[in-house]
Amino acid sequence: MDSVEKLFRDLPSPAADEAAIDASGNWDTTHFNQAVASFIPSNSRDPDREIVATWIKHAHDAVTVRGEIGRLALDKAQIPDDGSAKSRQLRYHAWISKGRKDDDYPFNSMGGSVVESVGLPEGGHAFLPAELVDPKICANCAEPNADKACRGCLFKQDSRVVFRTVYCDKDCQAQHWEDHKLTCRGTKKLCRAALLIYDLFVIFQKMAGFEKQITGITEKQGITYIAHDQPNEWAFQGKPFLCHFQPDIAPSEEHALAVLFDSECQQLMATCHDLLRLLLIPLCRQVEEVQIIPRNAHRPTCDMRDNTARSTMYNQHTVLRVTLKSGEKIAIDVAGAQFGWRETIAPWQAWECHRVEGQICVEPFGTSQQMMQIQYSILAAQYVQLGESQRSSLAQKMQAAVRDAMAARQAPSAGKLYALDDAAFAACKTAMLSGAEKALGDGLREIHASKIGRCYVDARNEWRATATRRQAEALEGVWLTEEDVKKAKEEGEDLAKIYKMRCADPGKRREFAAAGLDMP
């Protein structure tokens, strides 16, 4: 058998792959690794054998190879339906890469239950279907076609209903009030909290993004592609790892938000953990972190760093599942923009029904923070550890500014903040966001002025971050300027060669030694 066909045959089939999503969201990596290990490219005449061989050689994990399979599938003008294992896998991974949409599933059956499609509003899967969030049944007497909404907990995002409780008439609403009161007030407060937290996270990501040296954002086949500089180009220039995000390179605000939150769900929960404790935890009986495999993405992201497709559809996604004091469970998804999702908050049952593939993995609130601390201390590169330390310091400055704004408006606690009337809450929120933005701007300027956290390439050809001002000053004259890079490209010179020649200067070698730098 042709070795490319054998590889695609030995990979988990769509039906088996579906079943292999276990409670922790992991794929059947043992099966996958066995299939990859037996691949021999010389035993193939398949036109894609060299592409497949490149995946196997350079990919370090199953997720990357799966993303590359999806990329190959999407690059083809047409995938033949010839019954081959390759055809089946390509169609399957193209479907995943484009969002795992129920209505686009490429097979008639999958050896299990067939997902029933639901009516989608204009905008496709950007919003939850109305059938799931906009009830027509009276909450008091269960009569159909009820249309009188409780104004207290009616909540919309982008003019779409997210929460709505309806009644036949005023009498039904009055009869149900004692049962509904706790839920109504709790939902209103939680909606305020979710949107406030989201707005703060957007500001944080825009002003304190880590290593997002992005050169282009484009959309193709319903996927947001993220392009980057050449890996070392900006390292040779000594650019800081923490920097402002430039939204004007995105074709729309939605695309910009997708890139801001690409693969950032756990990171935000870890870095801004204390902010969530301040603004969210007091409202809830319980808060849990839930890891899922995403489904029905509207417009997923795909990071093309190092010319490798890293589709967000193959990653776990973490959201918060909040239990109100009245018992209702609600989803808060601050990073859903990476899938093109527009709701920041939604009823949990409706959200899980439409957004989740396979089983969920539920962890206590704080798990992301604990895991990140362990992983960074053991596994993360030096520049990642330093960058995260700087981001954490900025998050603390942002939280202090938020607290100050709350106290200045006689709302020092979450309870008092969300109990304000609409006008007072809006004014306080504006002050909180303004204060957060100023604190982050001032903090980032301090970091840049310190010259700590600037990128360089060491003697092992690895990225590092300057840990002291002295290190940065020793590297002045070695780092290339924008003009240097432009000139080198025009003349066809190798940036790495220029960088190494500058490092060879005897005077610089003495400065490197004094600053504790191991340079090429």
Using one digit for the tens of pLDDT, what is the confidence trace for 467-484?
Answer: 999 999 999 999 999 999
Q: Is 8 a domain residue?
A: yes
159 pLDDT more than 70: yes
> Residue 496 and residue 484: Cα distance in Å, rounded?
12
The answer to whether 227 touches 302, Cβ cutoff 8 Å, is no
504 pLDDT more than 80: yes
Q: 430 and 477 share a domain?
A: no
Q: 212 and 274 share a domain?
A: yes
- Tokens representing 281? 């935890």
Q: What is the CB neighbour count within 10 angstroms for residue 499?
A: 21
Residue type, 68: E
109 pLDDT more than 60: no
- Report the pLDDT value the prediction gives residue 444, as an integer from 0 to 100: 97
**Single residue among 186, 212, 229 that ends a domain in this structure:** 186
- Report the pLDDT value the prediction gives residue 111, as an integer from 0 to 100: 37
Q: 180 and 303 share a domain?
A: no
Phi, psi of 107 (to 5 degrees): -120, 155
Largest Cα–Cα distance in the chain? 88
Q: Is 504 a domain residue?
A: yes
Q: Is 458 a domain residue?
A: no
Domain that holds residue 472: 468-515
Q: Is 351 a domain residue?
A: yes
Q: What is the CB neighbour count within 10 angstroms for residue 63?
A: 18
**Single residue among 104, 139, 157 that ends a domain in this structure:** 104
Alpha-carbon separation of residue 239 from 233, 236, 258, 386, 498 (angstroms): 10, 8, 24, 14, 17
> Residue 21 and residue 90: Cα distance in Å, rounded?
19
Residue type, 329: K
Q: 74 and 171 share a domain?
A: no
The residue assigned the tokens 């106290």 is 407
> Residue 463 and residue 457: Cα distance in Å, rounded?
5
* Residue from 309, 350, 311 nearest 333 by CA: 350
Max avg pLDDT among 261-265, 383-387, 439-443: 439-443
Interval 65-82 mean pLDDT:
91
**Single residue among 423, 450, 477 that ends a domain in this structure:** 450
Please tell me the total count of domains within the chain. Answer: 4
- Report the pLDDT value the prediction gives residue 55, as an integer from 0 to 100: 84
Q: Is 223 helix (H, G, I), strand (E, B) or coil?
A: strand
* Residue from 190, 198, 199, 201 nearest 346 by CA: 190
Give the burial class of 233: count Cβ atoms within 10 A of its Cβ; 0-12 exposed, 13-18 middle, 19 or more buried. middle
The answer to whether 316 touches 292, Cβ cutoff 8 Å, is yes
Q: 157 and 248 share a domain?
A: no
> Residue 49 and residue 36: Cα distance in Å, rounded?
13
Give the percent of the chain with pLDDT over 90.
Answer: 76
Residues pairing with 156 in the sheet: 161
pLDDT band at 81 (very low <50, low <70, confident <90, very high): confident
Q: 367 and 420 share a domain?
A: yes
Give the burial class of 274: count Cβ atoms within 10 A of its Cβ; 0-12 exposed, 13-18 middle, 19 or more buried. middle
Q: Is 110 a domain residue?
A: no
> Residue 165 and residue 347: Cα distance in Å, rounded?
12
Q: 309 and 331 share a domain?
A: yes
Q: 269 and 340 share a domain?
A: yes
Q: 157 and 209 share a domain?
A: no
Q: 54 and 149 share a domain?
A: no
Phi, psi of 170 (to 5 degrees): -65, -35
Q: Is 113 a domain residue?
A: no
User: Average pLDDT of the chain?
Assistant: 91
Sign of CA dihedral 175, 181, 182, 188: positive
Interval 158-184 mean pLDDT:
96
Residues pairing with 166 in the sheet: 149
Q: 96 and 133 share a domain?
A: no
421 pLDDT more than 90: yes
Q: Is 197 a domain residue?
A: yes
Q: What is the pTM for the complete model shown?
A: 0.92
The residue assigned the tokens 């604990």 is 370
Q: 231 and 363 share a domain?
A: yes
- Report the pLDDT value the prediction gives residue 381, as an integer from 0 to 100: 93
pLDDT band at 107 (very low <50, low <70, confident <90, very high): confident
Q: Is 11 a domain residue?
A: yes
* Residue from 448, 443, 404, 405 nearest 427 by CA: 405
pLDDT band at 122 (very low <50, low <70, confident <90, very high): low
